[in-house]
């Protein structure tokens, strides 16, 4: 059976079934061989399976001679910040917004950035070799050559100081903010940092028990956050996902402000202050057409990338840009971070609101006039087969002709789940719904059955 592969954001699977301790150990060994470094930093989110898989992955690193610094529970961007600070490759044991039974492994370079696809490919090839012959060459170290595993209780303080420094001495006094921590990695850190910066903070879902991460809460389900913001007359709310690399906001009326609107707010603010380098924002193909039209109206260019904050970061660095992000709430301020950071983004939003002396609702209402968008997730056992399905792509061509210049179709295999994502935008909502449903049916009919796998 083929091992779980790297997707849009690392390796993911059902913990102890698809992503087993044996596989995590082998990935650790492969990573140590491809990313030769004396020390790795490794953190995790709050999932029950986290310590198990972190121990196995760290054992794999140590078995190849690398020392491991255990950062404990820390947001993904916190691990990235520590990796950059310590000049050490890093890893996070997390499945982000997925249900708690899933888990994953995300890898970072010693610059604190996600690994390029080519490097992940090298790790996969090394992984195949290890799985095929666990005792094969090279010979593993013994004695003093075996890596050591130690804790670093100072990592949390390092990350908190990094977050606070992004305000350059400004404060958040006078703001009342509700935080939905998704019972994840933000639970201890986000309320503390925003509180120390002067905000009055009310925290929800900040008592992780290993099984309640992302459970009817967080950035994928901000309903309770919206109700609490309205009930307590807060200025706004912030909903993080399980590993706190993304955030969704809720204004004082309970209206959700997603990543597209947040990105537009930040783009206009940076542009007005002369800090939007290249007069360009990097976004993914999932970004709503309305965002592009809003940028066009302000004379701001849009650079489009594949889905994933790794691709957004690559575009930012390639073109020397300062801002990019995704509809899901991954937002990168390149001068402040090497990856999407939900807590940092929340702090930046609070700072923007306070400087503007206007409510989030006032700032965001009408900012992006959305083109109706319908997203259908179609469960498919082998979503990678999408690329070769003539039947599906012929249906896409017909749908695009029907929509004309006023619409858009995007089909892609999920990089994190066994799904094909069907996205349709059209000027008329009913048309977007109809075309998306029709294409989803074609995808399910064409790809819904598992194809026999060739013997390995």
Return the active site residues: 96
Task: Classify the phi-psi angles of 216: left when phi > 0, otherwise alpha if psi is within -120 to 50, otherwise beta.
Answer: left
H/E element, 287: none
Give me the sheet containing 10-14, strands edge to edge: 6-7, 10-14, 102-108, 90-93, 39-44, 67-73, 149-151
56 alpha carbon, distance to own chain's centre: 23
Three-class SS state of 42: strand
Beta-ladder partners of 41 = 69, 90
Are the CB atoms for 305 and 315 separated by under 8 Å?
A: yes
Three-class SS state of 173: coil
76-86 and 342-356 helices cross at what angle (nearest 10)?
100
Task: Classify the phi-psi angles of 455: left when phi > 0, otherwise alpha if psi is within -120 to 50, otherwise beta.
Answer: beta
Name every residue whose Cβ is closer than 8 Å to that of residue 337 and which is 6 or more positions away in sequence: 77, 80, 81, 344
Three-point CA angle 338, 344, 345, nearest 5°: 100
Residue of 40, 34, 60 whose CA lies nearest to 122:
34
Name every residue whose Cβ is closer than 8 Å to that of residue 430 and which is 6 or more positions away in sequence: none
């Amino acid at each position: 059976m083929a091992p779980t592969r790297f997707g849009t954001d690392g390796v993911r699977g059902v913990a102890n079934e698809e992503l087993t301790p044996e596989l995590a150990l082998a990935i650790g060994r492969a990573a140590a061989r491809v990313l030769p470094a004396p020390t790795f930093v490794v953190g995790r989110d709050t999932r029950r399976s986290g310590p198990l898989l972190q121990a196995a992955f760290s054992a794999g690193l140590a078995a190849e001679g690398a020392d491991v610094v255990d950062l404990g529970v820390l947001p993904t961007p916190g691990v990235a910040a520590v990796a950059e600070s310590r000049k050490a490759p890093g890893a996070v044991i997390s499945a982000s917004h997925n249900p708690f039974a899933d888990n994953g492994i995300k890898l970072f370079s010693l610059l604190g950035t996600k690994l390029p696809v080519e490097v992940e490919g090298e790790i996969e090839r090394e992984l195949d070799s290890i799985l095929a012959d666990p005792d094969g060459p090279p010979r593993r170290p013994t004695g003093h050559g075996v890596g050591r595993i130690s804790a670093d209780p100072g990592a949390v303080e390092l990350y908190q100081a990094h977050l606070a420094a992004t305000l350059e001495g400004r404060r958040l006094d006078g703001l009342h903010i509700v935080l939905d921590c998704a019972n994840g990695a933000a639970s201890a850190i986000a309320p503390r940092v925003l509180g120390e910066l002067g905000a009055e903070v009310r925290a929800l879902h900040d008592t992780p028990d290993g099984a309640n991460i992302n459970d009817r809460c967080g950035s994928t389900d901000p309903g309770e956050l919206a109700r609490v913001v309205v009930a307590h007359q807060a200025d706004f709310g912030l909903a993080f996902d399980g590993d706190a690399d993304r955030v969704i906001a809720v204004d004082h009326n309970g209206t959700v402000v997603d990543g597209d609107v947040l990105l537009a707010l930040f783009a206009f603010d940076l542009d007005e202050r002369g800090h939007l380098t290249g007069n360009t924002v990097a976004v993914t193909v999932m970004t709503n057409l309305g965002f592009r039209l809003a940028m066009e109206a302000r004379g701001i260019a849009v650079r489009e990338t594949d889905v994933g904050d790794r691709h957004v970061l690559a575009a930012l660095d390639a073109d020397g840009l300062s801002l990019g992000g995704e509809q899901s709430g991954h937002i990168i301020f390149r001068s402040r971070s090497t990856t999407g950071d939900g807590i940092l983004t929340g702090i930046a939003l609070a700072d923007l609101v306070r400087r503007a002396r206007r409510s989030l609702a006032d700032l965001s209402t009408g900012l992006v006039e959305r083109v109706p968008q319908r997203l259908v997730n179609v469960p498919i056992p082998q979503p990678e087969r999408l690329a070769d399905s003539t039947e599906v792509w012929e249906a896409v061509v017909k749908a695009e002709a029907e929509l004309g210049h006023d619409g858009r179709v995007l089909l892609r295999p999920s990089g994190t789940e066994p799904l094909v994502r069907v996205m349709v935008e059209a000027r008329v909502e009913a048309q977007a719904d109809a075309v998306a449903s029709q294409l989803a049916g074609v995808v399910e009919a064409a790809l819904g059955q598992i194809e026999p796998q060739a013997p390995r």
